[in-house]
Amino acid sequence: MYKITLIPGDGTGPEITEATKRVLEATGVPFEWDIQNAGEEVYHKEGTPLPDRVIESIRRNKIAIKGPVTTPVGTGFRSVNVTLRQILDLYSCVRPCKTYKGAKTRYDNIDLVIFRENTEDLYAGIEYQKDSDGAKAMIDLVAKLSGRSIRQDSGISIKPISVFCTERIVRAAFEYARKNKRRKVTSVHKANIMKYSDGLFLEVSREVAKNYPDIEFEDKIIDNMCMQLVQKPELYDILVLPNLYGDIISDLAAGLIGGLGLAPGANIGEGYAVFEATHGSAPKYKGLNKVNPLAMILSGVMMLRHLGEMKAAEMLDKAVASIIKEGKDVTYDMKPAPDDPTSATTSGVADAIIAKMAI
C-alpha cells in the first residue's frame, strides 16, 4: 500500500484530481490517499493557503500528487506551488512533452524533456514593492555600489542564480539523459545580457557537461530557442533552463504537443517528489466537468514510474495513448473544433481510460 499525499487544488483542480485518483486506483496498485487541501479557500479558513499540515503530510509520505492551485495576480498571497517547491527543495521540475498519435498538433514528432530549475532565479520571491522601505534601500544600495540609478517609482525583483543550484539541475538533466538513453542536453540562457546570473548558469552547465562525454551538449540563447522550437523542434531532446525560462518554455512545448491539457510534470528533490500537470487551475472552467484530465493523469504515470510500478505505468500510458488515437473519448481541447458536441467530460475521459485498462 502506497500512502500518497493528494492535494486537489482549486479551480478545475478537484475535478481533474478525482479523475486521476480513479484511474490510478483502476491500475490495481494499492493507494491510501492522505487528502490535503491548499489554496484560496484554505487561506480564508486557516489564514494561510499552505498550512504546515500539507508540508508535514508530504514529509511523512515522501510523495504527493497535486492539482493546480490559483495564485492571485500582482497582490495577495505568494504562490502555493512555488512555495511548496522551495520549502521541500524540489529542485528539478521535469516536464516531458511527447506527441501522442491522434493528438491535434502542428507537429507529429516531438519528444522533448524539460528540466526547469525550480527554486531560485526570479522566482526566489525576493521582491520589494514600489515605495517600500526595502525598495528605497535597494535603490540607494545599487546607486552606491554601481553608480547606476534605478527610478524611484520602481518595484524590484531579485534574480539569484547559484553554482550549487545550477550544478544540481544540470546534473539531473544529464543523469536522466544517461538513464533514458537520450542523445543531447541543451542549456538555455540569456548569458549575453545577464552575464553574472545567466552567464554563471552557462559556465556551470559547461563544467557539468564535461563529466558526460557520452551525451552531446550545446547551449542556446532563450530567444533563439523559442524560434528554433517552433521551427524545428525535432532537433532538440533535453532542455535545461533557469526557473523563469523553464516555466515559459514548458507552456511553449505543451503547445507543440497539442496543448496544456496533455503536458505532465514532476517536481523532484532529494527526499520528496510532487507530481503535477504543467497547467494552472483554468478557473473559468471550474465545476463544468469540462477540462482535460490527461495532463494530471500522465503526471500520475510519472508517479507510478517513480514508485517502480512500471507495469501499471505502461498499462495506463497505453490506455491514454489509445483514447487519444481513437479521438472519441477526449475533451473539447482535443477535438477538431472546441464546440464539438461529442466532446467527452473530465469524468468521461477517466471512465474511458478505466474501461480500456479493463480489456
CB 205 within 8 A of CB 240: yes
Q: Closer CB to ligand NAD, residue 333 or residue 351?
A: 333
**Contact, 230 vs 112, CB < 8 A?**
no
**Calpha distance 200→193 (Å, rounded):** 12
Between CA 263 and CA 292 the distance in angstroms is 10
Provide the minimum distance between the beta carbon of 298 and ligand NAD in the complex, in angstroms, as a whole number: 11
Does 291 help bind ligand NAD (rule: CB under 6 A)? yes
Query: What is the distance between the alpha carbons of residues 240 and 234, in angstroms, rounded to a whole number?
Result: 16
* CA distances (Å), origin 100, targets 40, 112, 129, 182, 317: 34, 13, 44, 19, 10
350 binds ligand NAD (CB under 6 A): no
Q: Which of residues 208-227 bind ligand NAD (CB under 6 A)?
A: none
Smallest distance from ligand NAD to CB 238, Å = 21
User: If binding is defined by CB under 6 A, does position 81 make contact with ligand NAD?
Assistant: yes
Contacting ligand NAD within 53-72 (CB under 6 A): 68-71
Q: Is 260 in the site for ligand NAD (CB under 6 A)?
A: yes
247 is known as an active-site residue: yes
Say which of 45, 223, 284, 318 is annotated catalytic: 223
285 included as an active-site residue = no
What whole-number distance in Å separates Cα of residue 121 and Cα of residue 267?
A: 16
Site membership for ligand NAD, residue 37 (CB under 6 A): no
φ/ψ bin of 304: left (φ > 0), alpha (ψ from -120 to 50), beta (otherwise): alpha
Choose, by CB under 6 A, the member of 238, 257, 268, 282 that binds ligand NAD: 282
Is 191 in contact with 159 (CB distance < 8 Å)? no
- 96, 233, 261, 300: residue in contact with ligand NAD (rule CB under 6 A): 261
Select 177 or 277, whichever has its Cβ closest to ligand NAD: 277
Minimum CB distance to ligand NAD, residue 342 (Å):
16
DSSP secondary structure string for all residues of 208-273: HHTT-TTSEEEEEEHHHHHHHHHH-GGG--EEEE-HHHHHHHHHHHHHHTT-GGG---EEE-SS-E
**CB-based closest residue to ligand NAD:** 280
Q: Does 92 bind ligand NAD (CB under 6 A)?
A: no
Question: Would you call 43 a catalytic residue per the annotation?
Answer: no
- In whole angstroms, the minimum distance from the beta carbon of 200 to ligand NAD comes to 27
Q: Give the residue numbers annotated as catalytic, written as ranges.
A: 123, 190, 223, 247
